[in-house]
Structure 1
Amino acid sequence: MKNTYVNITGKLPRGLVGLYADISEHAEKLDIDFLVVGAMARDMVLVHGYGSTIERGTRDVDFGINVASWDEFSALRDSLLEAGYERDAGKYHRLTCEDKEGLPWEIDIVPFGEIADGENRIHWPPEQDFVMNVLGFSEAFEDALDVQISEEPNIIIPVASPAGICLLKLVSWLDREVELRGKDATDVEYLIQSYSKIPEIYDALYDEGYMEAREWDETKASAMKLGEDVAEIASMETIEFLEEELFNNSARTEQFVRDMQGQKSLMQCAERLHVFAEAFLGKR
């Protein structure tokens, strides 16, 4: 996307706007860069920004923070705890809170950047036995959109673009426990179906030959365009990882398609993923 600004003022609950403003203020005081990721990023851009439908609501607020050490991560976490956020008993990276309207939220904070090891993995304290792959976060951060959530006061926050969200979902599906990864695949299917809601993308489908190339099937044309756009932001390391671990692995590809399916046709999902993968790998 060439247009990197989205205005959704008035479309989020006031309590959620306040929550984003508060976390943004804490991060700014510590000079920590962040971006919104996950299902909330999906909804902020595609639902509130461009009018797509909500298929799965969320009470999770997911952030990626670009840090060099666990000390930086802990500084932000401790700052939020001192401000009244609460620890989650089971997950070190999760905090909980109620917004100003009394609604509960779960806040996941995932560090990336120099904190990761040579294989783009982070090892969570204190035992460092929980390992997470943060491949793709740096690319999503560089491609983030500026999303305005309030005009009075003026609040603009960085949110992962659809291409960035898709990249993270592909990596997450490979990294997550089998019983939890279905939503990553269904989100990729949602991104494919909703991508043409963005006027710039819709115009490109017709003006740049995607519709003709896919016999005027808009969803397949969107899959092709999204595949190219994800590859455009991805590092070669990330592309090669996904090629080897997902797209060249027939068993995993078949499972990904089944996870995409939901109430949709298995054949349609398989065709869309094939078009996406062909475009994604063709941009190497």
Structure 2
Amino acid sequence: MLVGATARDVLLTHVFGLEVRRATHDVDFAVAVKDWDQFEALRTRLITSGTFKDDGRAKQRLYYKGESGEYDYPIDLVPFGEISKGSDEVAWPPDLKTIMNVAGYEDVLAAAESVEFAPGFVQKVVSIAGLAILKIVAWSDRGRENPKDAQDLIVIMDSYAYAGNFDRIYDVDGVIEAGDNDPDAAGVYLLGLDIRQVASANTLNVLTQIIERDFDRLSTEMVKPLRYLENVEERVTSRLRLLQRALT
């Protein structure tokens, strides 16, 4: 399943024709595996194909050989599923010191979109609501070092009304009213409702705890790429509150 910012670009830009403020060159794939042996077997097959090479440092990263013949496209593989042994985390062997939060991955796989990239080539892509789930979790996991997940979240929130959802804003009971008749704000509320449909009870609890605990820090990071806009702090804060309200 394609996840991360590339999934954002595929859906928002290439499917719905929306402009994305932050470009990305990273490609993230989430792979459902039962254990580390199965994950390593996958990595080995990719590397021995000659099309990928090992990063040598980051345990989840490979590099894809592009048209230039150089290995210049970073690919991250995120293992989830049975490998987590019922936990929301996976710990990378051998020292188990590298830990990744995979809360919500099984939920978003069940709701993933099928996108045809070329005739006959169909790939699972995380839905936009599913991507919002993963972005909130990822920001909680690594937000102090890297604010990109918070910045991606505000892009998703600002775009949701126009990503195939405009009619639904008026058709779903209470949505346009929740946004005070502002379609952009109503889109954020609808996003929260859609997240509720995708997320399990456990994942929903994780999301609401993150937002409640770290609301101020999250909203501050979301504002940073938009500081040039008038009243942006108030707008971002009110819309994050609206998302929070829809989740509860």
| Range of TM-score over shorter length | over 0.9
Partner of 1:197: 162
2:247 maps to 1:280:
yes
Q: Residues 13-43 of structure 1, C-alpha deviation per residue, up to 9 Å, x if partnerless? A: xxxxxxxxxxxxxxxxxxxxxx000000001
- Which whole-Å CA distance do the structure 2 matches of 1:247 and 1:128 have between them? 28
Which amino acid in structure 2 is aligned with residue 127 of structure 1? D
Residue 81 in structure 1 maps to residue 44 in structure 2: no
Instruction: Report what 1:38 is aligned to.
Output: 4
Alignment of 1:161 onto 2:123: no
Q: How far does residue 218 in structure 1 lie from its aligned partner after superposition?
A: 1.6
* Amino acid aligned to 1:136: G
Residue equivalent to 1:30: none
> How far apart, in 2, do the equivalents of 1:175 and 1:217 lie?
32
Cα shift at 1:219? 1.6
State the AA in 2 paired with 1:130.
Answer: T
Deviation at 1:62, TM superposition (A): 0.2
Q: Is residue 2:18 matched to residue 1:47?
A: no
Q: Indicate the SS of the match to 1:135.
A: coil
Q: What TM-score, normalized to structure 2?
A: 0.93
Does 1:263 pair with 2:226?
yes
Cα distance in 2, alignment partners of residues 137 and 41 from structure 1: 14
Q: Secondary structure at the match of 2:84?
A: coil
Contact 2:211 2:218 in 1 (8 A): no
Cα deviation, residue 179, structure 1:
1.8
Cα–Cα, structure 1 residues 177 and 229, in superposed 2: closer, same or farther, change >3 Å? closer
Displacement over 4 Å in runs of 4+: none
Task: Give the letter aligned to residue 112 of structure 2.
Answer: A
**Superposed displacement of residue 207, structure 1:** 2.1
**Structure 1 runs not aligned, ≥5 long:** 1-34
- Alpha-carbon distance in structure 2 between the residues aligned to 1:187 and 1:216: 25
Match of 1:238 among 203, 220, 236: 203
Matched residue pairs, number? 240
Q: CA deviation at 1:72?
A: 0.7
What amino acid is aligned across from residue 42 of structure 1 in structure 2? R
Q: Render the CA deviation track for 1:243-273: whole Å, top value 9, x for unaligned.
A: 22x2332xx1100000111224111110010
8 Å contact from structure 2 (residues 33, 82) kept in 1: yes
Alignment of 1:1-284 (within 5 A): 35-84=1-50, 85-100=52-67, 102=69, 104-151=72-119, 154-176=120-142, 178-180=144-146, 182-199=147-164, 201-208=165-172, 209-244=174-209, 246-249=210-213, 252-261=214-223, 262-264=225-227, 265-281=232-248
Quick one: which amino acid aligns to residue 190 of structure 1?
V
SS at match of 1:110: strand
Q: Percent identity between the aligned chains?
A: 34
Structure 2 Cα separation of the partners of residues 255 and 198 of structure 1: 27
Q: Is 60-69 or 101-110 further displaced after alignment?
A: 101-110
Give the deviation of 1:197 after TM superposition. 1.8
For 2:75, give the aligned amino acid.
Answer: I
The alignment's C-alpha RMSD in Å is 1.4
Structure 1 CA distance for aligned equivalents of residues 57 and 233 of structure 2: 36
Rounded to whole Å, the distance in 1 between the matches of 2:170 and 2:86 is 42
Q: Give the superposition deviation at 1:86.
A: 0.9
Q: Residue 57 of structure 2 aligns to which amino acid in structure 1?
A: G
- Shift of residue 102 of structure 1? 4.7
Contact 1:51 1:197 in 2 (8 A): no
Larger mean Cα displacement after TM superposition, 204-213 or 95-104: 95-104
